[in-house]
Structure 1
Amino acid sequence: MFRELYRSTEPVRVDPIPIDGEPPTLPRVAVAVRAGDEVLGSIWAVLDGPHDGPLDDRTADSLRDAAKLTALHLLRVRAGSDVRRRVRTDLLSTALEGGTGAREALERLGLGRHAVVVLGVTARGEDGERSVAGDVVEASERERLSDAFALHLQSAHPASAVALVGDVAYGLLPCGPDGEERAERVARAFADKVGRRSPVVAAVGPVAPDVRGIARSREVVDRVLRVLRGARPGVPVARMSDVQAASLVLELRDLVAARGDELVGPLARLREYDTEHGPELVGTLRAWLDAFGDVTAASAAEFVHPNTFRYRLRRVGQVSGIDLDDPEARFGAMLQLRVLLGGS
């Protein structure tokens, strides 16, 4: 029925629908509200009395005229909303960059005299094939998320400001001495509400006492969001103090990729051995390091008998030459596993 409604420029009749244990619904007629090829919505009306035949011309003309008037009204409202949204986004973007116009932008946003906390909210990243239709849906969902986040921050502080920049909804929340803690509570409450329908992640930056601190706070938010997007589900909100180690690992991976560094040394020998004889030794070393040397726990993680695991661990030392009793060698192996081999 909806496919027919959105394809047609004419009113569409909707027959009564039987409901278990209840009388059937009343007959209805609906017409799509259009702006060119875009469907903005629809108008529905209940038909009073028996209407078995086609709609009379007067009713059909009334619905068509109402749809045209409603389309003009919706376009006018949307145009005004889009202008306000763009202005607010430009002002907030300027404030977040911390350039020469940041102070004026904050004044126009009504935040010139406040210390603020920068918050960032975005959908949890998911890999998959992309399409034009999918991008359109995602863009719409991002706008809805930003609008919902703006309402949420408004309830926390009337002077707060939110704008969608890229795929992140950034918010400036005026704060006091407990700014980060309060902002985290606000972000967690929002993630709990919205996360029931779509998984989101939220980051809280450090308190920015002045204009110069806002750009720094935004940078921290971006780094935290990057960690959260790749983190396992169940970690929707974080500050830098929660994810600093993971953030540093990501930055090291960026540096290694930019320089084109390749794996060399003991770990390279292990990987070559695994390529020739089967993937055993790199996984054995990773499990042993993750279990802090506990063979029982590490063998359980690899689903092998402890004696088999001990044999493989001896082979790790023989093939690679790593001295597993040396803390520096262990740290170097852990770092290479996470940065160069993508270990968690």
Structure 2
Amino acid sequence: MPARVTVREVWRLALPLEARLLAGRASLDREVSWACTMRPVPPAFPRLEGQELALINIEDLHHLDDLTLAQVIRSLHAANISAVVVIGPVEPEAVPIAEELAMPLFSLPAEAIASAIERDVIRLIVDREGALERYRSEIAHRLAEVLVANRGWRSLAEELAHATRKTVIIQDAMLRVLGQAAGPGPLLPLRAEDVEGLREPVVRPTGEGGVARLIYPIYVDDRTAGYLSLLGISGFDVTHRIVAREGALLCALELAKEQAIGGAEAQRRSEFLADLLRGDDLDMDLLARRARALHYDPTPPQGVLVVGVALGGDLDSDHLARQVQDELAQRRVAGLVAVRTAAAAPVTVLFPLPGEGPARAGRRFARDLIEAVSARFPQVALVGGLSRPLYELSRAKKAVEEAEQAWSLGRRLIAGCGSLLVDARELGVYQLLLPLEGSSTLRAFYEETLGALEEYDRRHGTELVRTLEVYFHQLGNLSRAAEVMYLHRNTLIYRLERIASILGIDLDDPETRLCLQLALKIRQIL
């Protein structure tokens, strides 16, 4: 038994693209058993058995004595007609009548040919599967034309919206919108909870006034690369699924192409940056030409950022670099990203800075970049180290070392507080201490200065080292330090006296205070 054909399918598969639905949207799922065209002489429709689609040419209607389109629609409704297609201008009075009768009413331009439309509708009814395959092929061809012409994601979304008469949203695996086109449904991008565990196409309510969403995952190399959504108030039939399926396939091709191009480009950028960071006998003119060939402006100033995970974290360096590169692309910043597997902070980024206020602009950009990339890896804490603005590419290696110093300090300071960016301009005395990291000299100085106090804290469960740290951080202001530690002022004074006694020092002596503050800094990097 052949599958039933609905008014909706006739609209999608047999009527010309110019067909406009004027009334009766709620009855689009009625079955259509045949098609018939009105004659210009009585009887206008000689044999009606019910469930037909009636074609009416307005010029032919004028040959019938004093009949209006509204009257014809009422008569066809009484004969159990499924839908009416009008060729030519539709009189305004007919639309509310059709809506009242829940009769799907379509309009077509006057140049449409009724006999051709009747033939296409009947062919659909007789060979529905063949019609669906022809429709699929036509949709695939139209979408492929968009891709071949490199018209972009927005044009692809618009073509899908035109084919489905739905709102269309294309998103990548991170749910960022690649392209969208408004239709009858609202522009509601997918959220993380909408696609959790999603592997197959699915229709889900949006919770917005009866709007439903058809979601098709987009796969590239057996992994989810994105999602295609159709949104609308009315349901989704086989034609919508055909368009969505073909659209998802074309989206996969486009994403794969972008990844291949982006991967090759990223490799060339990484190689350039690696050569730049070698820092030995550099031909700066050659490097500048290579940079411009990569669409990177080597004109100073530049910023250098290194990125890695906090202590105890673990993350694939290449994956992290790809996410950083993707964030740069989203911001339309032509930064260079390289992975240095031997470095503690494995991802290095070189990016252009504005001529005015480069230090402030670089910090703002690096902070936003770290925050955005961190959002992609909620399970680990990322640390970024930022160099001072770089005014000579030949000093890029030195700038990286400076950024790594900032990163090394940030990795120790993060202490579970989320991701962090440390600017080299904030290093202060750490610029002197970090090159000595791990040396016996630093360890000996610390042990000689604060070792006894730390041992006392360990044995007695006290917080005298922290008390000293807060005291200096508050510039020796007893009231503020007591407030920060939730202590009575007299309790703080007692603790400071105890510290002086344990260490055998005078806290009022300037050189002693300097040594203590330096030891507290060293404690951060031991």
Q: For each residue in 1:195-217, what CA deviation from the matched residue of structure 2 results, as whole angstroms up to 9, or x when unmatched?
A: 775678573434433x5323223
Assess, with a 3 A threshold, how the Cα gap between structure 1 residues 333 and 16 changes in structure 2: closer, same or farther. Answer: closer
Q: 2 CA distance for matches of 1:270 and 1:59?
A: 73
How far did 1:83 drift?
0.4
- Taking structure 1 as the reference length, the TM-score comes to 0.69
Assess, with a 3 A threshold, how the Cα gap between structure 1 residues 126 and 303 changes in structure 2: closer, same or farther. Answer: same
Q: 2 CA distance for matches of 1:113 and 1:29?
A: 44
Q: Mind listing any 5+ residue stretches in structure 2 that lack a counterpart?
A: 1-193, 341-345, 375-382
How far did 1:91 drift?
0.8
Q: Name the one with the larger helix percent.
A: 1
User: Pick from 5, 11, 14: which aligns with 2:203?
Assistant: 14
Assess, with a 3 A threshold, how the Cα gap between structure 1 residues 76 and 101 changes in structure 2: closer, same or farther. Answer: farther
Larger radius of gyration: 2
User: Larger RCO: Structure 1 or Structure 2 (Cα < 8 Å, ≥ 6 residues apart)?
Assistant: 1
Q: 1 CA distance for matches of 2:313 and 2:418?
A: 21
Is residue 413 of structure 2 the alignment partner of residue 224 of structure 1? no
The alignment partner of 1:342 has SS state of: helix
1:83 aligned partner, one-letter code = A
1:186 equivalent in structure 2: 361
Report if aligned partners of 1:118, 1:218 keep a CA contact under 8 Å in 2.
no
How far did 1:281 drift?
3.6
Assess, with a 3 A threshold, how the Cα gap between structure 1 residues 323 and 143 changes in structure 2: closer, same or farther. Answer: same
Is residue 211 of structure 2 the alignment partner of residue 25 of structure 1? yes
The alignment partner of 1:322 has SS state of: coil
How far did 1:108 drift?
1.1
Is residue 301 of structure 2 the alignment partner of residue 117 of structure 1? yes
2:71 equivalent in structure 1: none
Is residue 349 of structure 2 the alignment partner of residue 170 of structure 1? yes
1:157 equivalent in structure 2: none
Is residue 439 of structure 2 the alignment partner of residue 255 of structure 1? yes
1:208 aligned partner, one-letter code = Y
2:219 equivalent in structure 1: 34
Q: 1 CA distance for matches of 2:360 and 2:423?
A: 10
2:396 equivalent in structure 1: 214
1:144 equivalent in structure 2: 326
Q: 2 CA distance for matches of 1:193 and 1:184?
A: 14
Assess, with a 3 A threshold, how the Cα gap between structure 1 residues 45 and 201 changes in structure 2: closer, same or farther. Answer: same
2:480 aligned partner, one-letter code = A
Report if aligned partners of 2:205, 2:211 keep a CA contact under 8 Å in 1.
yes
2:270 aligned partner, one-letter code = T
Q: 1 CA distance for matches of 2:318 and 2:291?
A: 29
1:163 aligned partner, one-letter code = V
Report if aligned partners of 1:118, 1:221 keep a CA contact under 8 Å in 2.
no
How far did 1:182 drift?
3.2
2:50 equivalent in structure 1: none
Report if aligned partners of 1:5, 1:30 keep a CA contact under 8 Å in 2.
no
2:273 equivalent in structure 1: 92
How far did 1:183 drift?
2.0
Aligned-residue identity in percent: 22
How far did 1:279 drift?
1.1
Q: 2 CA distance for matches of 1:128 and 1:193?
A: 23
Q: Mind listing any 5+ residue stretches in structure 1 that lack a counterpart?
A: 155-160
How far did 1:318 drift?
2.6
How far did 1:298 drift?
3.5
Q: 2 CA distance for matches of 1:287 and 1:50?
A: 65
Assess, with a 3 A threshold, how the Cα gap between structure 1 residues 325 and 142 changes in structure 2: closer, same or farther. Answer: same
Report if aligned partners of 1:317, 1:324 keep a CA contact under 8 Å in 2.
yes
The alignment partner of 1:264 has SS state of: helix
The alignment partner of 2:462 has SS state of: coil
2:195 equivalent in structure 1: 2
Stretch of structure 1 that moved more, 101-110 or 260-269: 260-269
2:74 equivalent in structure 1: none
Q: For each residue in 1:226-282, what CA deviation from the matched residue of structure 2 results, as whole angstroms up to 9, or x when unmatched?
A: 445647899967453x4332343444444359x865853352222333333341443
1:275 aligned partner, one-letter code = R
**Equivalent residue runs for 1:296-311 within 5 Å:** 296-311=479-494
1:34 aligned partner, one-letter code = Y
Report if aligned partners of 2:327, 2:373 keep a CA contact under 8 Å in 1.
no
Report if aligned partners of 1:271, 1:282 keep a CA contact under 8 Å in 2.
yes
Is residue 452 of structure 2 the alignment partner of residue 269 of structure 1? yes
Assess, with a 3 A threshold, how the Cα gap between structure 1 residues 68 and 317 changes in structure 2: closer, same or farther. Answer: closer
Number of residue-to-residue matches in the alignment:
314
Q: 1 CA distance for matches of 2:258 and 2:491?
A: 70
Report if aligned partners of 2:304, 2:399 keep a CA contact under 8 Å in 1.
no
How far did 1:14 drift?
1.3
How far did 1:162 drift?
2.7
Assess, with a 3 A threshold, how the Cα gap between structure 1 residues 2 and 107 changes in structure 2: closer, same or farther. Answer: same
